[in-house]
C-alpha cells in the first residue's frame, strides 16, 4: 500500500490547458474523492494517476516512486470505469482472473484469489456467467472484483455509480465504503455528485476549471467553505447567497442587507467598514422569526419531502431556499420572516469569491 | 389474424394488414430469388434435350447421370481442390493483413493515419479488371502467370480495401475503456489486440471473410486470363469445357454449377447468424 503525491501537475490538449497546476497529497489508506462539475479536470487527473494520460508538467508519485513515465501496468493501480469495461466475451471468473493470468499466476492461485474476491462481493453464484447476463449492480461488483483481485496499491474509481439507478447507487455507495473500511487500500474516487463525495470521503478535493478549490474533510468543506464555489457546490439544496454591506457596531460586525435589515456576523472581520460583501446561508440554517426581527421573505413554492420541507422564497427579489424539519403550513404568496441560526452566516468577498 | 405473427415479436402500432402485406412482399421476394436457383438444381438432372423441350418441368428422373459425366470427363476433384486452395489462402491473407492494418488504423493515432486509410479506400474505386493488361505484364515478369500464387496475390489485393473498410469501421466502435482496462490489468499491446479486441471483432471478420470468399470462389475472369494449365484450373473455369463452340451440354453445366455453388452456400448458411449480427451491430445495442 502507498499514498499518492501529486505535485504541480499540469495538462493541456493542444493549446487548451485543462489542469493548471494541481497539488494534492493522499495519505496511505485514505479515501479521497475528487469532485467538481463536468469538465473540471477531475477525470483527467485520475487518468493521469492511472497512466492513461500523459503528464505535461509536475510529478505524480505512488508510494516513493515517481510514476510519470511508468506504463499503467507498472504502477500497480486498479481502476473501475463508469461503464465497467468488463470484457464482454469472458466469464466473470475470467474477467477477474485476467490480470493474474497476465502475471503468470498458477491455476490454483487464480482460483483462490478470485474466489476470495467473489466472496467479499457476493459474486460466487455468477462466476461462470457472462457480463451481459448480469444486472447493472452485479456488473459494478464484478468491476470492483477485478480491481480487488489484483491487490493493488491504489484503487481508482471513475464515476462508478453514474450508470446505476438511484436506489442501487445508494446501496453500492455503502458497499464501496464498507469495502474500503475492510481493505484499507488507498482510494481515489471521481464523481460529480457532491452527496457521494460527502458520504464516502475521508477527504474531498473540490475541483473547478482545472484547479483545486479546496481540500478537506466533508464537514470542513460544509462548515468552512473556502470560497463561493465550494460553498455553492457542497450541500444540497445549495447555499443561498445575498449581497450586503459590512458594518461594525458596538456588538460586533453586522451585514446590512439591501432591505436595511442587520444580520449579526461571527466571521468576516477582515472586511472593512462599508465594504460590499456576499453572505451565504445554508437553507437548513434558516429559522422562522417575528416579523420585526427577521428578513422578510415571500413564499413561492413549497416542496414537502416527508422528512423535511423545502420552501422557495423571494428575499428582496432574490430567490432563496429554506429547509424546515418542522411542518409549517405555508401557502404560496404568504409573507414570512427568516433569520439565520447564530453563527451560520458565511461571509465572502464578492469580487474574488474568497472567504473573509 | 395476429396469430400469424411469430411469438415474441412486438407488433406495436402496425396493424395486422400492414404486417400481412410486409409478409406477402417478403414471401414474393424470396420466391423471386429462389426460383432461378431451383431451376438450376432441377436442370442439373435433365438432359440437354429435355431442357429444350420442357425447361420448367420437373426432370423425368433424378438419376445423377450428369454428375457421373462431370466426374468421368473432367478433373472435378482437382478443380474443387484448386478453388479451395485459392479461396482459403486469399481470404486468410486478406483477413490477417486486413485485420492488422485495420487495427492500427482504428486504434492508434499517428501521423499519416488518415492518409493511409484513404489510400486503402481508394482501392475500392479502382476496377482491377480494367488494369488487366498491365497486371498481366507485371505478373508475367514476376513469373506468376499460370500459378496459384499469382491468383492469390491478385485476389488479396482486390479484397483488402473492402476488408480494411469494414474492419476499421467496426474496430473504431469498440469502447476505448476496454483497451484501457486491459492496459491497467497489465496486458501488452499485442495481448490487448489478440485477447480483447479481436474476439469482439469476430462479426466484422466474418463479414469481411464472406464478402470476399463468395466472389473469389465464383470468379471466372482472373483464372481465365491467368491460368492455362488444366491441372491448376478453378471450378468455374474447369467446368466450361462443356460449353462448346457448336454445342453446349446444358444439363451437365447446370449440374456442375450446382456442385460448385454448394460449398460456399453451406459456409454462408453456417455463418449467416454471425453475418447478420455483424451487419446490424451498432444499430441494435
Q: Both B80 and B116 in a single domain?
A: yes
Sort out which chain B residues have CB atoms less than 8 A from A77's CB and list them.
184
- Kindly state the cell numbers that stand for B168: 476499421
Q: In degrees to the nearest 10, what's the CA dihedral of A289, A291, A297, A300? A: 90
Instruction: Flag if B184 and A98 touch (Cβ within 8 Å).
Output: no
Q: What is the DSSP string of A314-341?
A: EETTEEEEEEESS-----TT-EEEEEEP
Q: Both B47 and B154 in a single domain?
A: no
- pLDDT at position B12 over 90: no
With respect to residue B163, please indicate whether it lies within any of the assigned structural domains. Answer: yes
Q: Both B117 and B221 in a single domain?
A: yes
Q: Both B49 and B20 in a single domain?
A: yes
Sort out which chain B residues have CB atoms less than 8 A from A48's CB and list them.
none
Segment B170-196 mean pLDDT: 92
Q: In three state form, how does the secondary structure of A179-235 look?
A: HHHHHCCEEEEEECCHHHHHHHCCEEEEEECCEEEEEECHHHHHHCCCEHHHHHHCC
Mutation for B interface: A73, A148, A157, most B CBs within 10 A:
A73
Do the bridges between strand A186-191 and strand A31-35 make them parallel or antiparallel, or are there none, so unpaired?
Answer: parallel
Q: Peptide bond before A307: cis, by omega within 30 degrees of 0?
A: no
pLDDT band at B202 (very low <50, low <70, confident <90, very high): confident
With respect to residue B253, please indicate whether it lies within any of the assigned structural domains. Answer: yes
Q: Both B58 and B72 in a single domain?
A: no
Instruction: Flag if B184 and A89 touch (Cβ within 8 Å).
Output: no
pLDDT at A1: 62
CATH top-level class for A240-348? Answer: mainly beta
Distances, alpha carbon A82 to alpha carbons A16, B212, B282, in Å = 25, 39, 20
pLDDT at A37: 93
CB B214 within 8 A of CB B142: no
- pLDDT at position B1 over 90: no
Segment B159-175 mean pLDDT: 93
Do the bridges between strand A345-348 and strand A286-288 make them parallel or antiparallel, or are there none, so unpaired?
Answer: unpaired
Q: Both B61 and B98 in a single domain?
A: no
pLDDT band at B13 (very low <50, low <70, confident <90, very high): low
pLDDT in tens, B207-232: 899 889 989 999 999 999 999 898 99
Q: Both B205 and B162 in a single domain?
A: yes
Residue with cell 441560526: A341
pLDDT band at B278 (very low <50, low <70, confident <90, very high): low
Q: Both B72 and B167 in a single domain?
A: yes
Which residues of A touch chain B, with CB atoms under 8 Å apart? Answer: 50-52, 71-73, 77-79, 81-83, 85, 87-89, 98-99, 102-103, 146, 150
pLDDT in tens, A25-78: 999 999 999 999 998 999 999 999 999 999 999 999 999 999 999 999 999 999
pLDDT at B251: 87
With respect to residue B284, please indicate whether it lies within any of the assigned structural domains. Answer: no
Q: What is the mean pLDDT of chain B?
A: 86
With respect to residue B266, please indicate whether it lies within any of the assigned structural domains. Answer: yes
Q: Closest-CA residue in chain A for B196?
A: A87
With respect to residue B285, please indicate whether it lies within any of the assigned structural domains. Answer: no
Q: Could you give the count of Cα atoms lying within 13 Å of B121 in the half-sphere of its Cβ? A: 12
Instruction: Give A186: exposed, middle or buried? Use CB within 10 Å, 0-12, 13-18, 19+.
Output: buried
- pLDDT at position B261 over 80: yes
For residues A318 and A57, give the distance between their C-alpha atoms in angstroms, rounded to a whole number.
43
For residues A156 and A43, give the distance between their C-alpha atoms in angstroms, rounded to a whole number.
10
Instruction: Flag if A52 and B183 touch (Cβ within 8 Å).
Output: yes
Pick the closest to residue A281 from A324, A336, A234, A320 (CA basis).
A320
Asked if B189 reaches chain A (Cβ–Cβ under 8 Å), the answer is no
pLDDT in tens, A72-90: 999 999 999 998 999 999 9
Instruction: Flag if B185 and A102 touch (Cβ within 8 Å).
Output: yes
Instruction: Flag if B184 and A146 touch (Cβ within 8 Å).
Output: no
Ranges of H-type helices in chain A: 42-50, 92-102, 107-120, 136-149, 166-183, 194-200, 218-223, 228-233
Pick the closest to residue A236 from A194, A279, A285 (CA basis).
A194
Compute the nearest-CA separation of A85 from chain B (Å): 5
Segment B165-181 mean pLDDT: 92
pLDDT at B240: 81
Q: Which of B10, B44, B65 is the last residue of a domain?
A: B65
CB B74 within 8 A of CB B239: yes
CATH number of A4-233: 3.40.50.300
pLDDT band at B2 (very low <50, low <70, confident <90, very high): very low
pLDDT at A45: 96
Sort out which chain B residues have CB atoms less than 8 A from A52's CB and list them.
180, 183-184
Q: Both B57 and B124 in a single domain?
A: no
Handedness of CA B184, B189, B191, B197 (dihedral sign): positive
The residue extents of the domains of chain A are 4-233, 240-348
Distances, alpha carbon A246 to alpha carbons A93, A259, A282, in Å = 64, 14, 20
B177: domain CATH number is 1.10.3720.10
Asked if B13 reaches chain A (Cβ–Cβ under 8 Å), the answer is no
Tell me which DSSP letter residue A104 carries: T
- Provide the phi-psi class of B112: left if phi over 0, else alpha when psi is between -120 and 50, else beta: left
pLDDT at B9: 52
pLDDT at B283: 39
Domain count, chain B: 2
pLDDT in tens, B65-101: 888 888 888 888 899 999 999 999 999 999 999 999 9
Instruction: Flag if B185 and A51 touch (Cβ within 8 Å).
Output: no
Q: Both B40 and B84 in a single domain?
A: no
Q: Which of B88-92, B234-238, B281-285 has the lowest mean pLDDT?
A: B281-285
Distances, alpha carbon A76 to alpha carbons A61, A104, A190, B74, B170, in Å = 12, 16, 19, 66, 32
CB A299 within 8 A of CB A330: yes
Q: Both B145 and B189 in a single domain?
A: yes
pTM of the model: 0.81
CB A314 within 8 A of CB A265: no
Asked if B196 reaches chain A (Cβ–Cβ under 8 Å), the answer is yes
pLDDT at B98: 96
Low-confidence ranges of chain A (pLDDT < 50): none
Q: Both B116 and B257 in a single domain?
A: yes
Sort out which chain A residues have CB atoms less than 8 A from B180's CB and list them.
50, 52, 72, 79, 81, 85
Sort out which chain B residues have CB atoms less than 8 A from A150's CB and list them.
185
Q: Which of B25, B45, B65 is the last residue of a domain?
A: B65
Domain ranges, residue B220: 66-279
Instruction: Flag if B186 and A88 touch (Cβ within 8 Å).
Output: no
pLDDT at B62: 85
Instruction: Flag if A87 and B182 touch (Cβ within 8 Å).
Output: yes
Amino acid at each position: 500500500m502507498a499514498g499518492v503525491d501529486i505535485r504541480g501537475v499540469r495538462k493541456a490538449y493542444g493549446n487548451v490547458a485543462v489542469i493548471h497546476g494541481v497539488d494534492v497529497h493522499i495519505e496511505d489508506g485514505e479515501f479521497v474523492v475528487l469532485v467538481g462539475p463536468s469538465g473540471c479536470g477531475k477525470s483527467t487527473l485520475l487518468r493521469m494517476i492511472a497512466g492513461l494520460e500523459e503528464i505535461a508538467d509536475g510529478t505524480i508519485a505512488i508510494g516513493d516512486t515517481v510514476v510519470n513515465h511508468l506504463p499503467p501496468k507498472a504502477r500497480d493501480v486498479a481502476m473501475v470505469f463508469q461503464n465497467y469495461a468488463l470484457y464482454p466475451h469472458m466469464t466473470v471468473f475470467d474477467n477477474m482472473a485476467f490480470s493474474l493470468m497476465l502475471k503468470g499466476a498458477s491455476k490454483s492461485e487464480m482460483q483462490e484469489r478470485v474466489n476470495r474476491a467473489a466472496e467479499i462481493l457476493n459474486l460466487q453464484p455468477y462466476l461462470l456467467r457472462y457480463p451481459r447476463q448480469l444486472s447493472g449492480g452485479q456488473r459494478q461488483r464484478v468491476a470492483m472484483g477485478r480491481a480487488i483481485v489484483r491487490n493493488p496499491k491504489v484503487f481508482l474509481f471513475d464515476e462508478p455509480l453514474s450508470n446505476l439507478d438511484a436506489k442501487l447507487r445508494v446501496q453500492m455507495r455503502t458497499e464501496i465504503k464498507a469495502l474500503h473500511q475492510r481493505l484499507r487500500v488507498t482510494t481515489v474516487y471521481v464523481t460529480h455528485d457532491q452527496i457521494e463525495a460527502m458520504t464516502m470521503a475521508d477527504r474531498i478535493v473540490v475541483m473547478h476549471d482545472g484547479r483545486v478549490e479546496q481540500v478537506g474533510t466533508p464537514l470542513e468543506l460544509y462548515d468552512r467553505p473556502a470560497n463561493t464555489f465550494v460553498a455553492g457546490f457542497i450541500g444540497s439544496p445549495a447555499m443561498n447567497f445575498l449581497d450586503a454591506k459590512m458594518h461594525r457596531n458596538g456588538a460586533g460586525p453586522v451585514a446590512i442587507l439591501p432591505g436595511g435589515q442587520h444580520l449579526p456576523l461571527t466571521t468576516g472581520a477582515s472586511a472593512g467598514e462599508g465594504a460590499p460583501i456576499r453572505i451565504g446561508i445554508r437553507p437548513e440554517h434558516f429559522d422562522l422569526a417575528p416579523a420585526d426581527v427577521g428578513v422578510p421573505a415571500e413564499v413561492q413554492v413549497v416542496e414537502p419531502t416527508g422528512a423535511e420541507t423545502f420552501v422557495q422564497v423571494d428575499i428582496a427579489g432574490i430567490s432563496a431556499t429554506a429547509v424546515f424539519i418542522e411542518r409549517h403550513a405555508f401557502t404560496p404568496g404568504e409573507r414570512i420572516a427568516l433569520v439565520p441560526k447564530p453563527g451560520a452566516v458565511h461571509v465572502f468577498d464578492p469580487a474574488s469569491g474568497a472567504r473573509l | 389474424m395476429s396469430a400469424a405473427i411469430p411469438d415474441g415479436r412486438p407488433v406495436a402500432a402496425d396493424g395486422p394488414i400492414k404486417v400481412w402485406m410486409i409478409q406477402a412482399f417478403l414471401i414474393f421476394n424470396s420466391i423471386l430469388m429462389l426460383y432461378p436457383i431451383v431451376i438450376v438444381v432441377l436442370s442439373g438432372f435433365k438432359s440437354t434435350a429435355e431442357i429444350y423441350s420442357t425447361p420448367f418441368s420437373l426432370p423425368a428422373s433424378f438419376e445423377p447421370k450428369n454428375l457421373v459425366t462431370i466426374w468421368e470427363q473432367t478433373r472435378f476433384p482437382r478443380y474443387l481442390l484448386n478453388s479451395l486452395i485459392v479461396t482459403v489462402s486469399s481470404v486468410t491473407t486478406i483477413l490477417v493483413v486486413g485485420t492488422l492494418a485495420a487495427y492500427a488504423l482504428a486504434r492508434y493515432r499517428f501521423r499519416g493515419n488518415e492518409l493511409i486509410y484513404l489510400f486503402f479506400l481508394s482501392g475500392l474505386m479502382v476496377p482491377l479488371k480494367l488494369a488487366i493488361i498491365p497486371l498481366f505484364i507485371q505478373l508475367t515478369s514476376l513469373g506468376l502467370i499460370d500459378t496459384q500464387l499469382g491468383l492469390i496475390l491478385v485476389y488479396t489485393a482486390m479484397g483488402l480495401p473492402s476488408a480494411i473498410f469494414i474492419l476499421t469501421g467496426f474496430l473504431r466502435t469498440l469502447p476505448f475503456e476496454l483497451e484501457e482496462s486491459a492496459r491497467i490489468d497489465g496486458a501488452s499491446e499485442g495481448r490487448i489486440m489478440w485477447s480483447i479486441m479481436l474476439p469482439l471483432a469476430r462479426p466484422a471478420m466474418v463479414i469481411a471473410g464472406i464478402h470476399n470468399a463468395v466472389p473469389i470462389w465464383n470468379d471466372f475472369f482472373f483464372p481465365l486470363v491467368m491460368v492455362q494449365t488444366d491441372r491448376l484450373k478453378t471450378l468455374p473455369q474447369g467446368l466450361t469445357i462443356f460449353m462448346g463452340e457448336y454445342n453446349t451440354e446444358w444439363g451437365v453445366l447446370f449440374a456442375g454449377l450446382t456442385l460448385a455453388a454448394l460449398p460456399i452456400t453451406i459456409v454462408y448458411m453456417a455463418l449467416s447468424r454471425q453475418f447478420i449480427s455483424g451487419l446490424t451491430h451498432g444499430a441494435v445495442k
